Copies of this chain bind each other. A is one copy, B any other.
Amino acid sequence: LIPIIWRDDSNTLSILDQSLLPFQKVFIDLKDAESTALAIKNMQVRGAPAIGITAAYGMILSLTSKRPSTLQDAIKELSRAKQILDSARPTAVNLIWATSRMLKLAETYVENGNAKNVNELIQLLKSEAKKIFDEEYEAELQMGLYGLEKINDNDTILTQCNAGGLATGTGLGTALAPVKLAHALGINVSVIAPETRPWLQGSRLTVYELLEEGIKVTLITDTAVGLVMYKGMVNSVMVGADRILSDGHVFNKIGTFKEAVIAHELGIPFYVLAPTSSFDLKSNVNDVKIEERDPNEVRTIRGIPITLENVNVYNPVFDVTPPKYITAIITEKGIIYPPFSENVKKIVNK
């Protein structure tokens, strides 16, 4: 299940429309920067790394669709495409990171004479976009291999949200990478997926992704995470991360904190899996603002009202898990154990 596929013969980016999952499995073909930006805006592609990869190819699509005749026009076109793409989801760090990397490289290739015409530039940029994809995949594979050390035969892993291959674009994922490698190696492993309100990434995406790959999964409500741990149904918890601080505070999808506290209380290992690019070594825990989203995400489910329309709602998207509840942080550069305030920097700066 690879949700982002580049078709070189037709200069087309095919993305699996995540807004329709799991009810319809539709790939949409993107052929220019405008449609790519729209797909990002409409969350047809979501997840920070997946957005980054998509945007990198969106830069290429601006050239293959517009076919500028000179290198100068090509750079102009890329700058224009970058603006359109960046504004699709202004807060997505990976998006701007990817378009900047592509534009900067194009400028360097033109300046250095590496690209002698627009076709050569397109070929070089295609290599770079593939490199972004491959780097992401490689990091996930490494995380998966490190994480595999923490999985035994017949284990059941509790996760949260969707930290799988749909979110990263590679088909592998972060928190789900060890599970997928274990399954591929014939280790018997299963997953408990909480539905993860309000967006239902668990019931819509994680369930879909795992069933597609033939991995055993059980869906529960978010209210049942405590009981499954209490009843001994969970061997370890594996979640992703949106941001990790140098002292080990982890910002991740709302609901992660409760799993960490209960796991800690019951002696169940709690692992965070994230690439070193997700670390923020500068911020303090109180500096990070927790994003709140539209109250109607809580007042409705798939457009259907479930409460009174005038009720006051608090709808935070992330929560923060203090380091004391975290057994280890698994990155592509290795496993970080407590004390995190000493060990995070050692591994991340390796």
Residue from the list B194, B218, B220, B227 in contact with A290, Cβ < 8 A: B227
Q: Tell me if B308 and A224 are in contact (CB < 8 A).
A: no
- A261: CB under 8 A from chain B? yes
A208, A305, A306: most-surrounded residue (chain B CB, <10 A): A306
Residues from 113 to 171 in A contacting B, C-beta threshold 8 Å: none
Q: For chain A residues 209-239, which have a beta carbon within 8 Å of chain B? A: 211, 216-228, 230
Q: CB-CB < 8 A to A207: which residues of B?
A: 307-308, 311
Closest to A263 in B: B261
**Pick from B219, B222, B228, B308: contact of A307, CB under 8 Å:** B219
Most buried by B among A223, A230, A258, A261: A223
A57 proximal to B (CB < 8 A)? no
Interchain CB contact under 8 A, A218 and B312: yes
| Chain B residues whose CB sits within 8 angstroms of the CB of A230 once the complex forms | 257, 319-320
- A223 to B306, Cβ gap below 8 A? no
- By a CB distance below 8 angstroms, the chain B residues around A306 are 195, 200, 203-204, 301-302
Bound-state Cα–Cα, A216 to B314, Å? 13
Contact partner, A261, options B228, B265, B301, B314, Cβ 8 Å? B265
Across-interface contacts of A222 in B (CB, < 8 A) = 197, 221-223, 255
Q: Does A316 contact B (CB under 8 A)?
A: yes
Question: A262 interface residue, CB < 8 Å from B?
Answer: yes
Query: How many copies of the chain does the oligomer comprise?
Result: 2
A313 to chain B, nearest CB (A): 5
The reply on A68 being an interface residue by CB < 8 A is no
Return the chain B residue nearest A322 by Cβ.
Answer: B230
Which residues from B are CB-within-8-Å of A203? 298-299, 306-307, 311
For A203, the closest partner residue in chain B by CB is B307
Contact status A220-B298, CB under 8 Å:
yes
- Near B by CB (< 8 A), chain A positions 241-267 give 253-255, 257-258, 261-262, 265
Residues of B within 8 A of A217 (CB): 311-312
Given contacts A197-B195, A219-B298, is CB(A311)–CB(B211) below 8 Å? Answer: yes
Q: Is the CB of B258 within 8 A of A225?
A: yes
Show the binding face of A for B, using Cβ within 8 Å.
Answer: 22-23, 192, 194-198, 200, 203-204, 207-208, 211, 216-228, 230, 253-255, 257-258, 261-262, 265, 290, 298-299, 301-302, 304-308, 310-316, 319-320
In the assembled complex, 15 residue pairs joining A and B whose CB atoms fall closer than 8 Å, in A order, are A192-B314, A195-B197, A207-B307, A219-B314, A220-B313, A220-B315, A221-B222, A221-B298, A221-B315, A222-B222, A222-B255, A227-B290, A227-B320, A257-B262, A302-B306
